[in-house]
Amino acid sequence: MARHIQFSILFVIALFFFSLPIVVNSQGSPGKESFYVEGQVYCDTCRAQFINKFTQFMPGATVKLQCRGDDEGNITYTVTGKTNEKGVYRLFVEGDHEDEICEIKLISSTIKDCDEIPDEGWAKQSSRITITKNNGMHGDVRTANALGFFKKEALPECVELYKELGILPPDL
Greatest Cα pair distance, the chain, in angstroms, is 92
Which architecture, in CATH terms, is 34-165?
Sandwich (2.60)
DSSP for 90-102 reads EEEEES--TTSEE
Domain map of the chain by residue range?
Answer: 34-165
Along the 172 residues of the chain, how does pLDDT read in single tens digits? Answer: 566 566 556 554 654 555 544 433 444 444 468 899 999 999 999 998 899 999 999 999 999 999 998 877 789 999 999 999 999 999 999 999 988 999 999 999 999 999 999 887 666 678 999 888 876 666 789 999 999 999 999 999 999 999 998 887 766 4
Q: 90, 37 in Cβ contact below 8 A?
A: yes
Task: Please report which helix (H) or strand (E) contains residue 151, including its range.
Answer: none
In this structure, are strands 34-44 and 88-94 parallel, antiparallel, or unpaired? antiparallel
pTM of the predicted protein model: 0.75
What is the rounded radius of gyration, in angstroms, for the C-alpha atoms of the chain? 24
